Amino acid sequence: MHSRHWGLLALLTVTVVWGTTFPAMKQLSDQLQPLHIIALRFGLASLALLPLLPGLRAAEWRWGLGLGALNFIAFWLQIEGLALTSSNRNAFVTGLNVLMVPLLAWAVLRRRLGWPIWAACALALLGLRLMFYEDSPWSLGDSLTLASALCFALFILAMEACAQRNRAAPLRSTRLAAAVALAMCGGSLLALLVQEGGWALLHQRASALAVGGWVAMVYLALAASVLVVVLQAWGQQRVDAMRSAIVYGLEPVFAAITAWLLIGERMGPVALAGAGLLVAALMLSQLGGEDAPAAHTQSP
Can you tell me the distance from the alpha carbon of 247 to that of 243, in angstroms, rounded to the nearest whole number?
6
Q: For residue 37, what pLDDT is reported?
A: 94
CB 192 within 8 A of CB 202: yes
* pLDDT tier at 129, thresholds 50, 70, 90: confident
Can you tell me the distance from the alpha carbon of 128 to that of 21, in angstroms, rounded to the nearest whole number?
22
Q: For residue 241, what pLDDT is reported?
A: 60
* pLDDT tier at 270, thresholds 50, 70, 90: confident
CB 24 within 8 A of CB 217: no
Question: 189 pLDDT exceeds 90?
Answer: yes
Question: 297 pLDDT exceeds 60?
Answer: no
* pLDDT tier at 48, thresholds 50, 70, 90: very high
Taken in order 117, 118, 119, 125, the sign of the CA dihedral is positive
Can you tell me the distance from the alpha carbon of 84 to that of 254, in angstroms, rounded to the nearest whole number?
21
pLDDT in tens, 26-38: 889 888 999 999 9
CB 187 within 8 A of CB 68: yes
Q: For residue 73, what pLDDT is reported?
A: 95
Q: For residue 94, what pLDDT is reported?
A: 87
* pLDDT tier at 103, thresholds 50, 70, 90: confident
* pLDDT tier at 240, thresholds 50, 70, 90: low
- Identify the residue with better confidence: 269 or 36: 36
Q: For residue 275, what pLDDT is reported?
A: 81
Q: For residue 291, what pLDDT is reported?
A: 47
Burial class, 107, CB count within 10 angstroms (exposed 0-12 / middle 13-18 / buried 19+): exposed
Looking at residue 195, the DSSP 8-state letter turns out to be: S
Q: For residue 146, what pLDDT is reported?
A: 93
Read out DSSP for 131-179? HTTSSPPP-HHHHHHHHHHHHHHHHHHHHHHHHHHTSSSPPPHHHHHHH
Question: 1 pLDDT exceeds 70?
Answer: no
- Identify the residue with better confidence: 25 or 300: 25
Average pLDDT over residues 158-177: 81
* pLDDT tier at 245, thresholds 50, 70, 90: low
* pLDDT tier at 68, thresholds 50, 70, 90: very high
**Quick one: what percent of the chain has pLDDT higher than 90?**
30
* C-beta atoms surrounding 193 within 10 Å: 9
Q: For residue 36, what pLDDT is reported?
A: 94
Mean pLDDT over all residues of the chain? 83
* pLDDT tier at 292, thresholds 50, 70, 90: very low
Can you tell me the distance from the alpha carbon of 40 to that of 42, in angstroms, rounded to the nearest whole number?
6
**Which of 15-29, 113-127, 188-202, 209-223 is predicted least confidently?**
113-127
